[in-house]
Structure 1
């Protein structure tokens, strides 16, 4: 009986040792770190790989070091020019100091989310609607700076912030569309007026050139007649005064003299 009792005792002792050994070792993955608490006090940060713990004395708190994301739900706020908008964003962050992340904040995930919501509303409240719609990069930068100022003490680093969507009321969207259309019409009229001004300037310079060179205006006139003659079904009446077109006037005078000479010859023959 004593031999059986000794065997049972040895087996029981072996089982206890195996359980003790199993509880003494812990595997920490590559992207994790274990902050070890010994009797409630921070002992050290261990990992990755196999770490040794004293059962019932050491307690490991495993912290993930990978980049995490938090979705900021749509925040309805009023801009500086009293326009209601709804805006949401995404925050990317990671733990850079596991000891601070464990000891300085109870839940850094929820803390990042809450401070992101309040900071986003504060930033939008300080901007006008046009700035909110056109300066997303500035909003991202300002929000990241504010979050970094808070999370640095928690051992958390905000790597990026992205504004995802900005929603406006249907009435406001209609008003913005009308404003954009009016702006396009204004630009079209300005461009047309600028073209007319440039054309008038060029024509004024051309008139001075024609004034100094009368033959140039005649050549231009003949080119214009050539262009008009290509259109069928037109009757063109061309004035040819001496002061305006001397070459054409001289030609017409010679033609009239020939007609008068032919008329007088016919009378003498009869």
Structure 2
């Protein structure tokens, strides 16, 4: 998975003292004018005309897309993603690289007060809607089997604000042959009722903030006790582990990760 981006946390977090005012200046005076000038030439594109070539999304394109999500309409954001598909980026590259790194950019810009919570929420909403629109094309790349690889249950911690990670994980598990129940918004009682009423090989929990940590640690043994599968594998992932990687070794879950590729590999190792 590509993580390169000139706005992404893995580069900008090296300087956590970066002033929001300076970041805003860069966005307003350098990134946005160049982006809008380029975007003026974008034509309406259609899914059926897309050809797949081995091209990767660049760091510059990820940054452009991130700013588009914050500053323009849904249709303009969608057309930009479609133009990347037309230029040779595979649909997997859009899901695995563009969407993931753009979400990280938005998360970081919010953390340093370069954009508001409201604008970030709208941007994430645009991103999820774009991925849903591309969903038919994404699933044409699916790893098809006569029998599913396994059954997974993916959800975000109750009261989570942003649930893009659950959507991305669920879509990628489906593409790799899994039967997935995804619940971005769900209560604790519904979680326990779900694992008590259906058999799952794999439960994936997304956590984005430390305020949900204690509740997560209380919930994990309850899920195990209610599960129909005595060998249930519980994995925890999400933005919290990017912000506080030391927590990766402190969870009572079977595995922890902040990386989508790693989550897919973990799932694949569970059912042969």
Q: TM-score range by the shorter chain?
A: under 0.3
Bigger CA radius of gyration: 1
More strand by share: 1
TM-score, normalization: structure 1?
Answer: 0.19
Which TM-score applies when normalising by structure 2?
0.19
